[in-house]
Amino acid sequence: MKTIKIAGGQGFYGDSPKAAIAIAKAKGADYIVHDALAELTLSILQKDKLQDAALGYARDVEFLATSLYPVAFANGIKIVSNSGGLNPEGAAKKVAAILAKQGIKGVKIAVVTGDDMLPKLKEIQDAGIALENLDSGKPFSENKYEVLQSNVYTGAKSIADALAMGANLVLAGRVADPCLTLGILVHEFGWKIGEGVSQQDLDKAAAGIAVGHLLECGGQASGGNSYAEWPMEYPLSNLAYPIAEVAEDGSAIFSILDGQGGKMSRNTIREQLIYEIHDPANYITPDVTVDLTQVKIEDIAPNRVSFKGVKGKPRPEKLKLTIGLMEGYMSEQFFFFSWPYAYEKSQRFIETTKEIWSKLPLNMERSEFQLIGLNGLHGNAAPLPPKEVMDELNEVGIRVVIKHSDNRTGKMALQSLFCLGLNGPPGLIGLPGWGKQDKVVLSLWPSLIPRNWVEEKVEIVEV
């Protein structure tokens, strides 16, 4: 049976390229998939694009174009990514220029667009589509914030089309993470996706999505971020990323390269399978609804895991549209107190902070005080240590964080606290700039739109 090897090369915009470069050098896969777009990433990219219209893509492609891509292309490996973000054309232009500068020729870069719904947002609403918020049920007409971006999660077809056009590198926009992998398999095996396909086709598509899901977070499937494997008896600094050898029937064998850190086991696959899944019987993607409840995961050899048993159900009628909104700002600052009375001093500091702020004209929506090392991560849910421990703490860190509607309140509120270095409880440590100021607060408006509003386009840029 024909098999195709696909490696997960990147788990997020900013992930290390080392594992992918090692796979490319070792010819360890036919394809490397790069998922660059977390839920928030598009809004972050929109801020880049507003400052410079040539940006708006995941900028690590610029580095990958000198490190990973040349090795991959030389070894006949194709790269499939959604690194194009909000500006796949711009990404392709930049990458093409960087490749050309290195004297690399004969590369076809596919630009996949059509997910950007911002230009059509008004037209969609005018057509009577309310874009109800999936969480609150409210129509989008009730939104009161400025719209930053609006992208629809698209499926595998454009990826398969791009590969059929001979692409060595795909730079897509908001193609749903696991659909990058499914697109490769649709192209290689001629799997059918879309309306009215057979149960067998649905099962294969679902298997492709499951494999894509297991690859899309890079090292999280191969022993990274793992309580199952803790205390991790393998090196972490050169953690191998997962490689799936997928057969035409949808079954797969997961492995990692020899000689690197990490681990491939039923446990590491299991903990990535459950990551960011809600109902395991209904994992919804643009191409197929996936039932993961019958999966069979087996250790078949050291660092080799067999994966099968995924079932498919018809794809959803509508596609998910996410609208990024500009909601305001947040600012933070870190302060520290040492033994003695570290905890008591932190409490007095917080009390005094509130008194200072109560006398200032601040447009503050809310504030939080988190004690680093005590309740900074879990708030009230984390019980404080017993009194004898609290009395002897070496140090206490305080994160002061506020949300505000204008871009002057943060500075004023934080600046007003530095006098406590001389006027406050003894030994306050905290220098301006320890923390972010005026970080933009975005909110995401999730909704659904009919498929006929989405027109995807694939274009090839040749180098």
Partner 1 sequence: MKKIKLIDIASARSGDKNNVCNIGVMARKPEYYAVLKEKLTVEKVKAHFGDLIKGKIERFEWEAIESLNFVCHEALDGGASRSLRMDTLGKNFASHLLRMEIEM
Residues that bind partner 1 (CB under 8 A): 39-40, 43, 135, 220, 225-228, 230, 267, 270-281, 292-297, 309, 324, 327, 330, 366-368, 370, 372, 376-382, 399, 401-403, 441-444, 446
Least gap, CB of 183 to partner 1 (angstroms): 22
Strands 311-313 and 304-308: unpaired
DSSP helix/strand/coil, 109: strand
Q: Where are the beta strands (DSSP E) in 364-438?
A: 364-372, 395-404
Nearer to partner 1, 90 or 397 (CB): 397
CA dist 246 and 444 (Å) reads 35
Nearer to partner 1, 41 or 158 (CB): 41
| Residues sharing a CB contact under 8 Å with residue 211, sequence separation 6 or more, in sequence order | 6, 178, 181, 185, 244, 246, 252, 307
Least gap, CB of 227 to partner 1 (angstroms): 4
Nearer to partner 1, 366 or 387 (CB): 366
CA dist 428 and 336 (Å) reads 6
DSSP helix/strand/coil, 67: helix
Nearer to partner 1, 3 or 133 (CB): 133
Any idea what DSSP says for residue 112? E
Least gap, CB of 269 to partner 1 (angstroms): 9
Least gap, CB of 308 to partner 1 (angstroms): 11
Nearer to partner 1, 151 or 272 (CB): 272
Least gap, CB of 460 to partner 1 (angstroms): 34
Contact by Cβ (8 Å): 412, 362? yes
Nearer to partner 1, 100 or 377 (CB): 377
Least gap, CB of 225 to partner 1 (angstroms): 7
Contact by Cβ (8 Å): 172, 112? yes
What one-letter code names the amino acid at 411?
K
Nearer to partner 1, 26 or 228 (CB): 228
CA dist 276 and 280 (Å) reads 10
Least gap, CB of 263 to partner 1 (angstroms): 13
Nearer to partner 1, 158 or 226 (CB): 226
DSSP helix/strand/coil, 433: coil
Strands of the sheet containing 311-313, edge to edge, are 283-284, 289-291, 311-313
Least gap, CB of 38 to partner 1 (angstroms): 8
Residue 266 has φ and ψ, to the nearest 5°, of -55, -40
CA dist 101 and 463 (Å) reads 10
And the tokens for 321?
């549209």
